[in-house]
Every structure is written in structure tokens, then in C-alpha cells.
Structure 1
Amino acid sequence: MISYLIIDDEYIAHDILKDYCDNLPNMQLIKNCYNAFEAIEVLNKRSVDLIFLDLNMPKLKGFDFLKTLANPPKVIVTSAYKEYAIEGYELNVIDYLLKPFSFERFLKAINKLQETQTTPASITTTSKEKSKSFFFKSDKKLIQIDQNTIHYIEAIGNYCKLITKDTSIVIREKLSELITKLPTEDFIQVHKSFIVAKQHINFIEGNRIVIKEHTIPIGRTYKLQLQNLLGLK
């Protein structure tokens, strides 16, 4: 569960963010704060995982407030002013959402947050396997998928089909957008229409990759890149 604060002096901004967050099963609102001093009062009493932070607020501006925190939570900036974006990334914010922003853009920011979070690994004598998950929009639903279960992804026009360990789902996202979201150390684009999960490759033969019972083609322009990424050259 991700606990969060909304810090913004505009009521409509609170309504939009809460509505977006309510579509996700793992978001818990702690408090609506309409200035930085309300947020400081909350943070003095408890910790939270995430702050949605507006910048242009009365008395204490967003970044000035952020600089007062010794151990700040993760921060997603929500602002109508794009000129402060560089300063935001210098302060290690997760993302900078320029108002007004769509639900899809909001979802990308949440997925970035998920990537930065480390899930405690199971303590075993053999391995400590990392686990990350992403939310994907499919048939008017948001589905959470563990990245370790994804075998490969196939482009279908403006949509993509995710083939996982147990099932396949069609999501409303282009392959070109997905490849920027997925961690490059785990996923490789091998064709204009295919991304594969490196850990699930059974073998490579000629211009094809085999994962379980599936055969994925290797595009000519991607072959050298694939060999370099796999350390084959």
C-alpha cells in the first residue's frame, strides 16, 4: 500500500488527484493539505510514502517546503509551470506532471514510483529475487502485472499483447511507449513488433528467439544490438 499526501492550494486539483488514485488498488490517502504548513504538521506525526506537490502555494512555495525536509518522502510534482522542471529533477523528484495532465500520464508517474521502490526480497539460502510490478490499462480495467511473469510483448497496431507466465492480455499502449517504461537490463526490443524478457529466453537460433512454446523473430536492425546486450560479441 502506498500512503500519500496531496499538497495543493486548489480544491479541484485535490479532486482530480484523488479520483485518479482511487482507480488504483494500492493507494491510500492520508490527508488533503492546502498549504505546506498543514503538510509539515502531518509529517511531524507520521511518515508517508509519497507526496503530490504543487509549487505555487502561498507563504511557503513547494520546493522551499521540500528543502526543509531532512528525509523527504518520494515526490511527484503537479504544477502548471514547466520552467521549474529542471530544479525539480535536481531535487530527485520522481516525476513532474504539467497541469492539466491525463490519467495515462499520471499512471506513468506511478509506474516510475514503483520502479524506484525495492520490495524486500525473500530470505533464502539460494537467491534474492527482485520483484517489480506495473499497472496496465486493459478493457477499462487497471491490471497489475509482476514484471517477472512477462515473457514477451507483441505490438498490435496502437495496442500491445502481453504474454505472461499464465495468460495474455491486450493493453492500450504502443510498443514504442512500453520500451521506455520497462527496465532496459531486463527487457530487450528484438524486432519492430516484439520485446522479450531476457530472463525467459530459452535459446536463440539464427534469426529467432524461443521462449517456452513461442518463437519470436529477430529483426535485422536489432540483431547487433541484441548480441551486444547479451554479451555475444
Structure 2
Amino acid sequence: MYKCLIIDDEQLARQLLKVYVEKLDFLELIADFENPLDAIATIKSQTIDLVFLDIQMPELKGTDFAKMIPSHTKVIFTTAYSEYALQGFELNALDYLLKPITFNRFLTSVNKLKRDITTSISYNDTITVKSGYDLFKIKLNTITHIKSDSEYVLFFTANKKIMSHQTLKSLEKTLNSKQFIRVHRSYIINKEKVTGLKGRDLLIGDLKIPVSDTYYETIKRTLF
């Protein structure tokens, strides 16, 4: 079951999408909002898989609000204006629905969510790490953070650490950005393990991970 939100300043548009969502057993509507700013608390307080987001709204455009949504949350833009399509895809939207939205077109769009998340889960299962002459298979969801140490990196889980001869830069290219993010020249963290931000330090339980100026604004926007 994928949790979703509807954000649109038009009541009829919200109502139509609610009807469509209710037809599908794999979607759960958490809430609908007329004003995108009212949705921020909900997005921060729980994991939302999908947002149906209108673009042309009076207080805040959907394309601007999309930049505030966590990277793991998918966005399907809904609008009556086709000229916004390119901008929507530049923001890495899952899809773009042009009003009036038919149910068949809606279904095609949300099925992309199922394929995307299934692919993500398959990709984000395990990683094989070479340490000396040994090979270790680590479940990615157990990794808290990865630290650079000269020509080596250290993989940290809750109960062990494994050293591997590789660079953080090369490793960053292989990890799924939906789960891991660079926060410092010496650190990559697992987004799901973050418990807070204190000053310029990310918190993972009692552990403090420094955030450099280069990544600070991105971290605030995508994780909080």
C-alpha cells in the first residue's frame, strides 16, 4: 500500500483524484490539501510515497513546492497547462497529467510508481564489499554511514564496520541516491537512519556526522 497526498487549489480536481485513488487497492490517500504549505507538516511527520501536485496555484507553484519534497517521495504533476510539462520533467517528476484527467491515463501514471519502487527495492537490497582477500555481503538498509579514510572507506552498521580499498567518490556513483546521500567530503549517510540535525551535525542516534557548507542546504531541504 502506497501512501499518497493530493495538493490542488481546485476542489473539483481534488475530488476527481480522490475518486480515482479510492478505486485502487494499492493506494492509500492520507490527506488532500488546497494549499501546499498546509501539507508540509504531513510530509515531514510520516513517509509519503506519492504526491499528486497541481502546478498553477496562487500561494506557491507546484514546481517550487516540489523542491521542498523529500527525494524518496514521488511527484505526479497535475495541471491544465501543457507548457509546464518540460519543467515538470526537469524536476524529475514521475509523470505529468494534463487536465481533464481520465482514469485510464491516471492508472498508467500510478503504475509507474509500482514499477519504480519495485526497481528501487531490488536495487537497494545488498552490496558486496571486498575487504582484503575477503568478500562481505551487507544489506544496505543496515548501513548507518560510510566514512572515507585516505584510499579506503569504512562501512558502518549498528554492530560492525568493514574497511574496503576504494574511494568515496566512486562508491557514491554506485549507491542509490534515494537511500544514500553525500553530506561531507568524508561521509555518505543512509537517509533512513537520520534522527536529527543539530547545528552543522546530522544525528544518527547518538552519533554526530558533520555536514559541510557545500551540502548543508540540500540536506535541510531533502531530509527535513
TM-score of the superposed pair, with normalisation by structure 2: 0.52
Pair 1:29 & 2:29 matched:
yes
**CA deviation profile, 1:93-115 (whole Å, cap 9, x unmatched):** 11100000110011110111111
Please say if residues 66 and 72 of structure 1, whose CA atoms lie closer than 8 Å, have aligned partners that are also in contact.
Answer: no
- Matched residues in 1 for 2:45 and 2:25: separation? 25
| SS of residue matched to 2:56 | coil
Instruction: State yes or no: 1:7 paired with 2:11.
Output: no
RMSD: 1.6
* Cα shift readout 1:71-117 (whole Å, capped 9, x = no counterpart): 35101111001001011111111110000011001111011111111
Q: How many Å separate the matches in 2 of 1:67 and 1:5?
A: 16
Letter in 2 for 1:43: I
**Structure 1 partner of 2:118:** 118
Q: Select the structure with the greater relative contact order (CA < 8 A; seq sep ≥ 6).
A: 2
Are the aligned partners of 2:52 and 2:77 in contact in 1 as well (CA < 8 Å)? yes
Instruction: Count how many residue pairs are aligned between Structure 1 and Structure 2.
Output: 122
* Greater displacement, 112-121 / 48-57: 112-121
Q: How does 1:72-91 map to 2 (within 5 A)?
A: 73-91=73-91
Q: Per-residue CA shift, 1:99-149, capped at 9, x if unaligned? A: 00110011110111111112646x9xxxxxxxxxxxxxxxxxxxxxxxxxx
The 1:22–1:69 alpha-carbon spacing in structure 2 relative to 1, beyond 3 Å, is closer
Structure 2: gaps (5+ residues): 126-224
Give the counterpart letter for 1:96 in structure 2: Y
What is the rounded CA distance, in whole Å, between the counterparts of 1:70 and 1:14 in structure 2? 22
State the SS of the aligned residue for 1:43. Answer: helix
Query: Would you say 1:109 and 2:115 are equivalent positions?
Result: no
Give the 4+ runs in structure 1 shifted more than 4 A.
none
Q: Based on CA coordinates, which of the two structures has the bigger radius of gyration?
A: 1
- The alignment partner of 2:4 has SS state of strand
Structure (1/2) with the larger helix percentage: 2
Task: Give the residue type in structure 2 aligned to 1:20.
Answer: Y
In structure 2, what is the Cα distance between the partners aligned to 1:38 and 1:14?
15
CA deviation profile, 1:46-70 (whole Å, cap 9, x unmatched)? 1200000001112111011111235
- Which residue in the other structure is 1:17 paired with? 17
CA contact (8 A) 2:54 2:77 kept: yes
8 Å contact 1:20–1:103 — kept in the other structure? yes
1:14 offset after TM fit, Å?
1.2
Distance 1:110 1:32 in 2: 17
Check whether the contact 2:55–2:77 (CA below 8 A) recurs between aligned residues. Answer: yes
What amino acid does structure 1 have at the position aligned with 2:37? F
Identity rate, percent: 48
Secondary structure in 1 aligned to 2:52? Answer: strand
1:43 aligns with 2:43: yes
Structure 2 CA distance, aligned partners of 1:34 and 1:87?
A: 22
Matches for 1:172-211 after TM superposition, within 5 Å = none
